[in-house]
Amino acid sequence: GNSVTQMEGPVTLSEEAFLTINCTYTATGYPSLFWYVQYPGEGLQLLLKATKADDKGSNKGFEATYRKETTSFHLEKGSVQVSDSAVYFCALVYGNKLVFGAGTILRVKS
């Protein structure tokens, strides 16, 4: 079936550190891939997306590249800030439904 696997958290980093959150997927065909972010007490916000292989999504300093050969969509940021502390969800779309990973908590310390 279609599924998304994310690295377990929480991930704790110091401000200005490099961030990688791993995401791999299993799917039929080549679905669009997404990263969503959820701040405490809020709904989900679309962070970035990629619709086909080798596409790179980017937003607010975050990047992720759709890698068909490794079925991965890892999230990266060169220098995190305290304000990036949140839960990050990787997802793919199957038909018209989003399939989410379990989410990864990111904590950034000043």
Partner 1 sequence: GAVVSQHPSWVICKSGTSVKIECRSLDFQATTMFWYRQFPKQSLMLMATSNEGSKATYEQGVEKDKFLINHASLTLSTLTVTSAHPEDSSFYICSAAFWGERSYEQYFGPGTRLTVT
Per CB under 8 A, does 11 bind partner 1?
no
What is the three-class DSSP state of 82? Answer: helix
Question: Least separation, in Å, of the C-beta of 31 and partner 1?
Answer: 9
Closest by CA position to 34, among listed 19, 18, 23: 23
27-86: which residues touch partner 1 (CB under 8 A)?
A: 32, 36, 41-46, 49, 51
What is the three-class DSSP state of 44? Answer: strand
Q: For strand 23-26 and strand 86-94, is the pairing parallel, antiparallel, or unpaired?
A: unpaired
Per CB under 8 A, does 98 bind partner 1?
yes
Residues that bind partner 1 (CB under 8 A): 32, 36, 41-46, 49, 51, 89, 93, 96-98, 100-103, 105
